[in-house]
Amino acid sequence: MKWALIFLATLLSNAPLAEETALDLLFKAGKYEEAITSLRSVESAHSQDPAYFYNLGNLYYHLGKFGLSLAYFEKAYHLSPAHLDVQTALAQARKETSKRLGQEHLDPSSNWAETIADQINLDLISILLEALVFVFSLFWFRSYLKERDPKKAALQAPSLLTLLGLFFLLFFLFVQEQSGKAPPAYCLSSQSVHSGPGEKFLELSRVDPGVKIRLLGPSLTSEAPESKVWRQIRYSKSEIGWIPESSLLLFSAEWSKPDT
């Protein structure tokens, strides 16, 4: 399957026109490695640009590096979940990666609350539910003023809908709180998971590119001469270890900050 690069005018709006044309030409000529190098030259200015991550995912997909493409498409989807091109590319990358790793290995670490939070926009749903609860409560109050009987008013549809809306609102707020404790990240390279923050610690397992893990805390820097930044992760439902931060694609800027 083949897609074109998108949003190039936006992505390189601060670059000379020649750079934009060169990137298009590299893509059309099949020089994907060179196109990736060109894209990464503007990485710092586009850390929250879904087009940047979509284009990276697209290029890695054409190189046959499906795990890497999946990670970048997931980031693009996280930033722009409504974009049809991103949804299509993400589905295809998941399909290709699952063929190689197995569907069960794409997300071995998320619990039920984290899975729900990763699949839907909880902020938007919470806002909609708050608005519905407010509207239903107004109808309930109107019914109460009409009946002047709390028991009758409580059995009216507006009252029941208000309670139902509150239930779902509290449920999704709970899901949001639980998922926020261990946000997702994606592996960008095949890496060993260690029992502590450093190569000297016991190797527990290995993770592949495109696999989703959960972050459990701030980063730590290993002792010299290694001096790498490490992250504590949950790499299965019940197993915890450490992995170099450089091998992860983080979704949250807050969780990108090292411990101070």
Would residue 174 count as lying in a domain? yes
The answer on 164 and 217 residing in a single domain is no
* Euclidean distance between CA atoms 152 and 205, whole angstroms: 61
Residue 147 scores a pLDDT above 50:
yes
**Rounded mean pLDDT of 200-213?**
95
10 Å CB burial of residue 227 (0-12, 13-18, 19+) is: exposed
Would residue 154 count as lying in a domain? yes
**pLDDT tens digit string along 226-235?**
788 999 999 9
Q: Tell me the residue range of the domain where 168 lies.
A: 119-180
Higher pLDDT, 260 or 147: 147
Would residue 203 count as lying in a domain? yes
The answer on 84 and 39 residing in a single domain is yes
Which residues on adjacent β-strands are paired with residue 192?
206
Name the domain boundary from 54, 76, 105: 105
We report the CATH number of the domain holding residue 41 as 1.25.40.10
Please answer whether residues 183 and 255 qualify as being in contact, where contact means their C-beta atoms are separated by less than 8 angstroms.
Answer: yes
**Rounded mean pLDDT of 67-90?**
92
**pLDDT, position 258:** 41
Would residue 148 count as lying in a domain? yes
The answer on 132 and 61 residing in a single domain is no
Higher pLDDT, 138 or 248: 248
The answer on 172 and 192 residing in a single domain is no
**pLDDT, position 229:** 93
**Rounded mean pLDDT of 38-51?**
83
Q: Give CA torsion, residues 139, 140, 143, 145, to 10 deg.
A: -100
